Chain A
């Protein structure tokens, strides 16, 4: 019983940050129809920026309230998104919209290569630590085990982000405009929607979610080169399992991936790396459109 709780809690904690990152990927895919290989880089850059922000914030005066370190991390992620989002969408991606969707995959792959080294050039190859916020919420005892409170904060954050995104898309006017663009780009443009604006904003929100995921996992990990390579695969797996472009799907798929990883770590450590890709391959083989996939319209 204790093992079951441990696996569930570990899985939930993993699922929380994976969801935050992957839902950004799925949003970018849904709106712009881009499978963004560089998504992991936004995560990594967010983590580095947050590590810097945390470093500056906590090395400042003792009088700063420690809780506001979380705000500093959010601001760092926001800064990454506001700089990179419009820059990359307007400065690079838009030149390829008329080409095949596979060409866009290649463009983001090139972007991945560029950002991977840019990150190393800016932050160097030595690890950064941003451990201060990790102790903000103390510890929580469940059964005989102690958990770090921060991890539960992450779960809460993921839930809030999921609900906000869902409400934003389905219950607000601008969200419905975005849904219209997802549904039919040309028609919404003809109906007076500024598709360019929707593209820039959606891409920026996608980048923000990746950077936010990176920023809030930074206290849990050592921030070093190689983060992007792994994270992008997890978000791919989640997006593919859940159905590209679906928020509900991303939520359930994050849970599947998180719990599958926790199961593997506790019961069959050799399968830890394996199991995520197995789930992804099986899902693609059985139901390539994912658990929840928006009905695909085929235009002739």
Chain B
């Protein structure tokens, strides 16, 4: 466990590196990092759920809710500021989370996975037939602004989004790290290990699960909103089960121990996708599948497990 001071220092350094990278990297890779940030935020939400021992196959529901929340606020409400839009996306998804969490909190294992899957497919089905929301084609969005600044060129717009998502990611990552190390965060891991023990200690398992699920919904919405702004388009595919599958991929690859690993895995996913779709367009899912099998086999705790395990070994050597 890191001290809070160390977390903040690390966050500051990460942000500085990200900003510096933004100056150096070519535009396409910056856009890739923005989409990776959006997916990473939603996957981080899923990781919160995974920490309490559950797997949701419906994180796409919130990703989609956030995207549509932000998109409709832009199209119908005329708001273009990305801060407001991302926040609104998060809030809309949070509402969906509040609605579904009480239903889901008593499910475990495959029943939780299939019910979340069914709920997100319901959303997908409903949106596909909702003609006033663009039906299966979805809707195109306007270009966003940041605190009144309107980007002059496409490259500048991507750069602006990149800076915005860097700050967003670092803030969310710090919040999650602090939460992971807090009593409530550790309670999730305890729930994963043994629910009955947690109940006997006087904590409420269903409350832990609901809280994680609602927080996951919020993060899913924030990610979905960021993605919608970056791509400039929303459609029902965001709630399709294969979108949720991508978050599952990221969450499994990263493991539930490290926050940084979630974003590293998300970037890896986007890299695999963009390189495979360029060089072997019909085999990118296959590369994902092989990656996923390999990580389940060889990295049971994900990429994050590599980092954290090494640290535990170090701390064993040095008992102080």
Partner-B contacts on A (CB < 8 A): 35, 92, 95-96, 101-103, 105-107, 109-114, 116-118, 120-121, 125, 229, 233, 236-237, 240, 244, 270-271, 273-274, 277-278, 280-281, 284-285, 288
Known contacts A125-B282, A233-B241, A285-B103, A106 near B252 by CB under 8 Å? yes
Q: Is the CB of B292 within 8 A of A121?
A: no
Partner-A contacts on B (CB < 8 A): 55, 103, 107, 109-111, 113-115, 117-119, 121-122, 124-126, 128-129, 241-242, 245, 248, 252, 282-286, 288-290, 292-293, 296-297
Other-chain residue from B103, B110, B125 in contact with A35 (beta carbon distance below 8 A): B110
Q: Is the CB of A106 within 8 A of B296?
A: yes
Residue pairs across A and B with Cβ atoms less than 8 A apart, 29 shown, are A35-B114, A102-B110, A105-B55, A105-B113, A106-B55, A106-B252, A107-B293, A109-B289, A110-B288, A111-B289, A113-B289, A114-B286, A114-B290, A114-B293, A116-B286, A117-B282, A117-B283, A117-B284, A120-B283, A229-B242, A236-B117, A277-B119, A277-B122, A280-B114, A280-B118, A281-B115, A284-B107, A284-B115, A288-B107
Q: At the interface, is chain A mostly helix, strand, loop or mixed?
A: helix
Q: Is the CB of A110 within 8 A of B282?
A: no
Contacts of A103 in B (CB 8 A): 296
Contacts of B286 in A (CB 8 A): 113-114, 116-118, 121
Known contacts A281-B115, A284-B118, A102 near B283 by CB under 8 Å? no
Q: Is the CB of A105 within 8 A of B110?
A: yes
Closest partner residue, chain A, to B55 (CB atom)? A102
Contacts of B124 in A (CB 8 A): 273
Q: Is the CB of A112 within 8 A of B289?
A: yes
Kindly provide the distance from the CB of B312 to the nearest chain A CB, expressed in whole angstroms: 22
Kindly provide the distance from the CB of A17 to the nearest chain B CB, expressed in whole angstroms: 20
Kindly provide the distance from the CB of B129 to the nearest chain A CB, expressed in whole angstroms: 4
Q: Is the CB of A110 within 8 A of B296?
A: yes
Known contacts A236-B114, A277-B121, A110 near B241 by CB under 8 Å? no
Cα(A294)–Cα(B11), bound, Å: 52
Contacts of A273 in B (CB 8 A): 124-125, 128-129
Kindly provide the distance from the CB of B116 to the nearest chain A CB, expressed in whole angstroms: 10
Contacts of B292 in A (CB 8 A): 106, 109-110, 113
Contacts of A271 in B (CB 8 A): 125, 129
Looking at A106, A236, A271, A278, the one whose CB has the most chain B CB atoms below 10 A away is: A106
Cα(A96)–Cα(B283), bound, Å: 25
Contacts of B114 in A (CB 8 A): 35, 236, 240, 280, 284
Looking at A101, A109, A114, A273, the one whose CB has the most chain B CB atoms below 10 A away is: A109
Other-chain residue from A107, A116, A240, A274 in contact with B129 (beta carbon distance below 8 A): A274
Ranked nearest first, the 7 interchain pairs of A and B with the lowest CB-CB distance are A113-B289, A114-B289, A117-B286, A273-B125, A274-B125, A110-B292, A281-B118
Known contacts A121-B282, A281-B122, A110 near B289 by CB under 8 Å? yes
Contacts of B248 in A (CB 8 A): 106, 109
Closest partner residue, chain B, to A35 (CB atom)? B110
Known contacts A96-B296, A107-B296, A277 near B55 by CB under 8 Å? no
Kindly provide the distance from the CB of B268 to the nearest chain A CB, expressed in whole angstroms: 15
Contacts of A114 in B (CB 8 A): 285-286, 289-290, 293
Known contacts A114-B290, A236-B117, A284-B114, A278 near B297 by CB under 8 Å? no
Q: Is the CB of B125 within 8 A of A284?
A: no
Known contacts A106-B248, A109-B248, A117 near B118 by CB under 8 Å? no
Kindly provide the distance from the CB of B152 to the nearest chain A CB, expressed in whole angstroms: 41
